[in-house]
Amino acid sequence: MTTAVSAGRPSAVTARDLARATATSQRRGARFKLWAGAVCTALVVLPVALAGVLPLPGANAQDLSRRRLPPLSEGHLFGTDQLGRDLLSRVLHGGQVSLAVGVLAVLVSGLIGIAAGSAAGFFGGWVDAVVSRFLEAQLALPLLMMLLLVVALFGPSVTVITCVIAIAQWPEVARLTRSLVLVEREKPYVAAARVLGLRSWSVLARHVIPNVVRPASLVVLLLLAQAVLLESALSYLGAGPQRPFATWGRIISDGQDYITTSWWLVTLPGLVIAVLVVGVNLLGDGLRDRTRPRSRKGA
């Protein structure tokens, strides 16, 4: 079929040239990232979501006669920890807390960021001044130190940790939304809506925001990845959700005392976090690549 066409084809461009073209390989790269990202994410998220259904020992069921069994022994796929608890079960149940915190934090920071960013971009003036000063101030603050302080202040409950991560992340959404709204508000449809007599608030809420939510929501996946990392870092430093929640950072910091004898206590939970975050980052990156207009003109 191809030979028949290429024999008499009017164009010198062959199918091979097309396959080698920048646009094609950009798309191929984005597709690869999306696929690999989806696989990595599903590999972690599905078992975590199904942790209650899977035939696993309880996350807190101790069996002191089976302490620190290596992986793949006696039905313990990830082995057991220093108190004889099944490590896989702990990682999966801990993942439910870590993921829930991450998703909630991203939702909260997304809402705050879009609201503040679009108000700053749309109204300008003092609103913009206030929001922008906040953004700058937060950049200057020692972030992790402040987060540890706030957790020390309000206690390490799931709600507090979620809010703390959301506070850490809203500037990113706000800055992006602000820049998108700055472009959007100069477009003719905004002027048209004003001419129709809509108030500023309704122009912003009903016309401008729907047009920036999609591009702004692309960063959400990247933020989710950061949120999971931040939560595990806080847990590692002892400022994560308290026992009996076995969050990922906590499992690793508990297992660190045993790295000389039991490598899996740290290696496997960390690997799970890394696979999930790589997956989410790849998905976010792939989506961004795919929606981004071609930035390169040839060459």
Binding site for other proteins (CB under 8 A): 22, 25-26, 29, 32-33, 36, 136-137, 139-146, 148-150, 152-153, 155, 225, 229, 232-233, 236-237, 249, 252-253, 256, 259-260, 263, 266-267, 270, 273-274, 277-278, 281-282, 285, 295-297, 299
User: For residues 200 and 253, which CB has a smaller minimum distance to other proteins in the complex?
Assistant: 253
User: For residues 62 and 215, which CB has a smaller minimum distance to other proteins in the complex?
Assistant: 215
- For 207, residues 6+ apart whose C-beta sits below 8 A from its C-beta are 189, 190, 193, 198
Place of tokens 């929001």: 131
Going by the DSSP 8-state scheme, the letter that residue 70 receives in this structure is P
User: For residues 137 and 191, which CB has a smaller minimum distance to other proteins in the complex?
Assistant: 137
Q: Least distance from C-beta 286 to other proteins, angstroms? A: 10
User: For residues 50 and 141, which CB has a smaller minimum distance to other proteins in the complex?
Assistant: 141
Q: Least distance from C-beta 295 to other proteins, angstroms? A: 6
Q: Least distance from C-beta 114 to other proteins, angstroms? A: 24
Place of tokens 């599905």: 46
Q: Least distance from C-beta 134 to other proteins, angstroms? A: 11
Q: How far apart are CA 14 and CA 101, in angstroms?
A: 51
Say how many C-beta atoms besides its own lie within 10 A of residue 248's C-beta. Answer: 27
Say how many C-beta atoms besides its own lie within 10 A of residue 37's C-beta. Answer: 21
Q: How far apart are CA 201 and CA 203, in angstroms?
A: 5
Q: Least distance from C-beta 184 to other proteins, angstroms? A: 21
User: For residues 104 and 268, which CB has a smaller minimum distance to other proteins in the complex?
Assistant: 268
CA proximity to 157, closest of 88, 247, 222 = 247
Sign of CA dihedral 267, 147, 238, 80: negative
